[in-house]
Amino acid sequence: MGESISHAPLASPIRWAGSKRKLLPILRSMWRSSDRRYIEAFAGSACLYFNIRPEEALLNDANADLISAYAVLAKNPVKLHARLLSIPVDAATYGEIRASKPSTKFESAVRFFYLNRYCFNGIYRTNKLGAFNVPFGRRTGGFPSIEQWRESSKALRGAQLHSGDFESVVRENVREGDFVYLDPPYAVSNRRVFTQYSANEFGIDDLRRLRSVMDHIDDVGATFVVSYALSKETKVLSDGWFSFRTLAQRNVAGFSQHRRKAVEVIVTNDENRLKVRKKDAKPA
């Protein structure tokens, strides 16, 4: 049985370095209408979730500011949209917003969405003190329309929102028949790519924990799909499972002329999910 999409696909309401938007045709083909619930442990832009819009879902991310902003968008899209459009878009205002320390969840969401939309290259990066430190961007695109904003809000109201450690959240919530999408930050050591989305960097030990989580998902009778950059660390995740390689556009380089296509590995515990077009993939 193929994919089941109850609503029109949406683009994510945020920009996000490392988003798998270019892999959506492959990833969405691996979702099935028989899957009980959609779980995403490293949500980020949640581009796959917004694209397939499942009826039941759990979205988790270690970034508490992101999840809190999603919660505000889910509850109050119109007021939030109007507030964001009322703020001038220039480097000076951006600096003021970045330096601010909002006292309410609503104003914190305003700050998050404003900085996300107008920062350099959609990067979320903080210093060791947890302060957002990405500069103003010159090419950010327009802000989503109120119609897109309303639809994003409606989609988020269909999900449980969590901010916690990926291992704890998955182990506590995954059940037989669930579909778990895992798109962790990269922990590669052989070349420079953007890996740090917060003050706590994702490392090799976290990859080993993730492998343990994959084993647990399989043990309970759920399905996982993992996307990860091809590197020597990939084998930690792919050994013993079904996998294939595909090309993906890297959108996290500092300048557009340095962006290039790189190899991404898709890993799953369900061989039947590997029915993709030959031109899109080859065995890992």
Run of H or E including 27: helix 24-28
Q: What is the pLDDT of residue 177?
A: 98
- Tell me the pTM: 0.88
Residue 66 CA to residue 271 CA, distance in Å, equals 33
Q: Is 261 annotated as a binding residue?
A: no
CA distance 240 to 234: 12
CB-based contact 135:99 (threshold 8 Å): no
Q: Is 206 annotated as a binding residue?
A: no
Q: Is 183 annotated as a binding residue?
A: yes
Q: For the chain, which domains are there? A: 21-64+158-283 (3.40.50.150), 68-151 (1.10.1020.10)
Average pLDDT, 10 consecutive residues per value, the chain (284 residues): 61 89 92 95 97 97 97 98 97 97 98 96 86 89 92 97 98 99 78 47 89 98 96 91 84 52 91 65 53
Fill in the amino acid letter for 58.
L
Residue 105 assigned as binding residue: no
Separation CA 236–CA 210 (nearest Å): 9
What is the pLDDT, as a whole number, of residue 251? 53
The CA distance from 18 to 46, in Å, is 11
pLDDT at 1: 39
